[in-house]
Amino acid sequence: MRALAAVCMAQFMVVLDVSIVNVALPRIETALGLDVTASHWVVNAYTLVFAGLLLLGGRVADLYGHKRTLLAGLALFSTASLVGGLAGGQETLVAARAAQGLGAAVLAPATLTVVGTAFEGAARTRALAIWTGVGLAGGTAGNLVGGLLTQTVSWRAVLLVNVPIGVVAAWLARCLPCDRARTRPRLDLPGAALAVAVLVCGTFGLARAGTHGWSDPATVTALLACGCALALFVPVQTRWASHPLIPPRLLAHGQVARGNVIALVAGACLSPMWFFLAFSMQQVLQLGPLLTGLGFLPHTLLAIVFGVVVTPRLLHRVRGHTLLGVGALVAAAGFVWQSRLTPESGYLVGVLGPAVLIGVGSGLLNTPVTLAATSGVPRADAGAASGLLNTTKQVGAVLGLAVLTTVAQPAFAGPADLARGYGRAFAAMAAALLVVAVLAFTSPAVAATSDRDGLRSTR
């Protein structure tokens, strides 16, 4: 139980910092003199490094032991949070957020690997459901705690709060057994560097296109660099690296590949949702930071109830692909409703109504995706599979935010213009979830895997 508590606290902290700065961003903009582009990088400095190095973090966990990796990640994450909370300028803040992303890239694969290898059968499904629920709770807790701390203390507190959480998690992690691989092959550092280059250049190019156009020289250069890095990454992983970040046998596993594709597309809308909702509630509905944080509670409470309590039971009776497809369709309906927000909507109609559909839908699809992308993987590749799943989620989040920011392009003339811009982003999220539904209903491998695991684990 202490082992599960340790990894869940670490996972909570990782997810917390994806969203905790969202509500604080308007105050950070004022305090440090940031523009919209700089605010975008306060969010993406974390998620870019996190996503780019997750594959390497998964391999580190396999090679050097999950306990050591977890403790090292906690130390790095807590230290970076302290530096970011004391930052006096945007450069220090963005650098600290990047360092947090490095710590998170080390932590996240280790937490999922411990859950996947330390438990079996029914205990494994319950542990995965709890791990997933903690991640969902971290997303909304970030918005709620961020709003509370920003309004009552300071925006700096949203980063400093990680320090005590990291200390407690490290203390709990002492109970984990020491483990490491008997052989220690070299890490695929070229592959890791190329993965970061793909994400940084691609995200910068998409963000730049939204503000300067597709013909802008910097936009074209960044996107070409992204394409070149991607073109090199593929042969490095498949031919040149003796121990690649993504072992080809993982992608040859049909259920793993399909599960990761679904996770990628779903992550492109479910993660950026918090960013756009935070600005919608504050800039369109004129809610304060604390009320904005409270406004996210229905999304998470419903997602936790359906993800932790309802979904594991349904997996005993309903095929996994059905839960994925139905969940995606329900959430898509919520985003269509959310896209119709206006300054006159009010919270009940403009946010709470869509929250019911979004929360239920996301709760139904999260655990089946995790099962589909990690089940049946050999123990020696457990860290790599965990890193791959976390990477696809974060890549989806990073690219989704970049693309949706370009789609929104709100004019800053008033709340009505902002509402129309954010509405376009929410409509695009609904379209992405329709793609998830199609992939789920046409992917028998995902269905079979989720169904077998669900049946086995609940008996």
Is 194 contained in some domain?
no
Is 454 contained in some domain?
yes
pLDDT given at position 200: 79
Q: What is the pLDDT of residues 122-150, one digit of tens each?
A: 677 677 778 777 877 776 677 778 888 88
pLDDT given at position 451: 40
pLDDT given at position 447: 39
Is 189 contained in some domain?
no
Question: Domain holding 334: CATH number?
Answer: 1.20.1250.20
Is 40 contained in some domain?
yes
pLDDT given at position 183: 56
Q: What is the largest CA-CA distance in the chain?
A: 63
Is 422 contained in some domain?
yes
pLDDT given at position 232: 92
pTM: 0.71
**Exposure of 92 by Cβ count < 10 A (0-12 exposed, 13-18 middle, 19+ buried)?**
middle
pLDDT given at position 352: 95
Number of structural domains the chain divides into:
1
Domain that holds residue 116: 2-176+243-458
Distance CA 444, CA 309 (A): 25
pLDDT given at position 224: 95
Is 212 contained in some domain?
no
Is 231 contained in some domain?
no
Taken in order 240, 242, 246, 249, the sign of the CA dihedral is positive
Distance CA 168, CA 12 (A): 12
Is 434 contained in some domain?
yes
Tens digit of pLDDT per residue, the chain (459 long)?
677 888 888 888 888 887 788 778 878 888 888 766 677 778 878 877 887 787 788 778 777 777 788 889 999 999 999 999 988 888 889 899 999 999 998 888 888 777 766 666 667 767 777 877 787 777 667 777 888 888 888 889 999 999 999 999 888 887 777 765 555 557 788 888 888 888 778 877 877 776 677 888 998 999 999 999 999 988 988 888 777 877 777 777 667 888 888 989 998 998 889 889 988 998 899 988 778 878 888 988 898 888 878 888 888 788 878 888 999 999 999 999 999 999 999 999 999 999 999 999 998 988 888 777 776 777 666 667 777 887 788 778 878 887 888 888 765 568 888 899 999 999 999 999 999 999 888 875 443 344 444 333 333
pLDDT given at position 457: 34
